A and B are shown apart, each in its own frame.
Chain A
Amino acid sequence: MLTPFLAIATLVITGVTITAGYTQTSALQLREERQSLYWPRYGTTLSGRYYGNSWQPLPTRSAYGEFRGGGPGAGK
């Protein structure tokens, strides 16, 4: 029958979306090599990946120059 199928589908949708939303499965998982579930927010794409204990920038990122981020003694 249709109604049991719809009820089970509703339960599955509810369970999956609440779990994915609350446990933030689409956030960037720090220090993880595989980010298969990352879902960019507001078009913020990752410009590198974590590989072998450090963050490696993507090849296209080199067009902009090195990381200069933060802290005393970094950059210039």
Chain B
Amino acid sequence: MSVQPQTRRMGRFIDLWPHISVLSASVMLTALIASAFFGNTLISTTVQADEEEPATLGPIQLQQQPVGALRVDVLAVIPENQWVTYEIQILDRNNQPIATGIKQAWRETGTWSEEGESGTWDESDAQSSLDMRARQEELVTISIQVLDHTDTSGQAIDQPVPFEVTVHNGVVDGRYLWAGFLGSTILAMISRMAVSASGTVAIRKTIFDSDVGDRAVVGGSDRLVQVNVNINSDETSPKSLDVHLWIKDRSGEQLYEHSFPVQLSLTKEDGKVESATGNLNVFFLLEPRSSYGFYVEVMPDGPVDQTELSVRDGAKTLGIPKVIHLKSI
């Protein structure tokens, strides 16, 4: 017998997990943005150092802190085509080194010419950075020492090198935050896409025509049924097609029928339509759980190359979609 279809929005089939993923990724983004506001600049200056005479900065008071570290950034200002190996030394209040980091810096220039064009290039790697945390209170002095200074052929150069030094305290390590942001955003996106593939596939049938149908056991009072129709059409496609859907009960009696307009997305080449695709997604709540037949006819049928019908049982949703409720006694 025919039933009265009731359409209303239902939120009870929402999958909460993708929303948790998105929330987590939002927290990650907030943490990343907040990190830019952490820390204050203690020193920002340029010093000179050579192999005999290191440059010193400080002293700086360091305390144990729960968040953040002391960051010493040193940029060697190297003349063209020279190599400078330098060391950042951290000395305690007794002038004893408690930490040292080495940077092998270089700057090389040259010319290039290719296919009639030419130009110059200038590459360098002269930036170094040392983050440190203290377990106890320290009074530190920073020393920049040049360990080796040569030209690109290895000949020693006896000239002082300028170093731009910046010291911040209370800064956080953004590398982890960027990695976390990238990872969590990708997972959140995958998680949202996974919802449209939720539930078990009860029917998946493709026909190289415009009429397709099949029958399967689906439904129940707590199982959302997702009917999806995918259409591929040719160069004679109009802007929209009508998808006619019938649902029959276990005895073959018609329960539901409706014509859904579907907008086609046209693929054009040089302004002319080459092909088109269209998609229809309808949610049903079918009671009781039983064998139901799903039949689809696409009209007009001329342009239609392929029609795929897929019915998922026990589907989940991201939001609160319209659901057509068919309850047969």
Contacts and interface: CB of A to CB of B under 8 A. Distances in A.
Nearest to A45: B102
Contacts, number: 215
Contacts of B24: 7, 10-11, 13-14
B195 A3 contact: yes
Interface in A36-61: 39-48, 50, 54-55, 57, 61
Contacts of A24: 67-69, 131, 133, 172-173
Residue from B53, B129, B131, B190 whose CB has the most chain A CB atoms within 10 Å: B131
A22 B191 contact: no
Nearest to B97: A55
B187 A20 contact: no
Interface size class of B (residues with CB under 8 A): 35 or more
Residue from A6, A10, A13, A21 whose CB has the most chain B CB atoms within 10 Å: A10
A23 B67 contact: yes
B243 interface: no
A24 B135 CA distance: 13
A70 B194 contact: no
Interface stretch (B83-91, B113-121, B248-256): B83-91
A21 B129 contact: no
Contacts of A1: 17, 198
Interface in A2-36: 2-4, 6-7, 9-11, 13-14, 16-18, 20-32
Contacts of A75: 53-54
B176 A17 contact: yes
A13 B131 contact: no
B61 to A, nearest CB: 13
A69 B20 CA distance: 52
B274 interface: no
A14 B184 contact: yes
A14 B129 contact: no
Interface of A: 1-4, 6-7, 9-11, 13-14, 16-18, 20-32, 39-48, 50, 54-55, 57, 61, 64-65, 67-71, 73-76
Interface of B: 15, 17-18, 20-21, 24-25, 27-28, 31, 35, 52-54, 56, 58, 62, 66-69, 85, 87-91, 95-104, 125, 127-136, 138, 141-143, 145, 147-148, 172-177, 179-181, 183-184, 187-188, 190-191, 194-195, 198, 316
| Closest CB pairs A-B (n = 4) | A17-B180, A69-B143, A3-B17, A21-B176
12 contacts: A7-B191, A11-B20, A14-B31, A18-B180, A27-B69, A30-B99, A32-B135, A44-B103, A55-B97, A61-B100, A70-B56, A70-B143
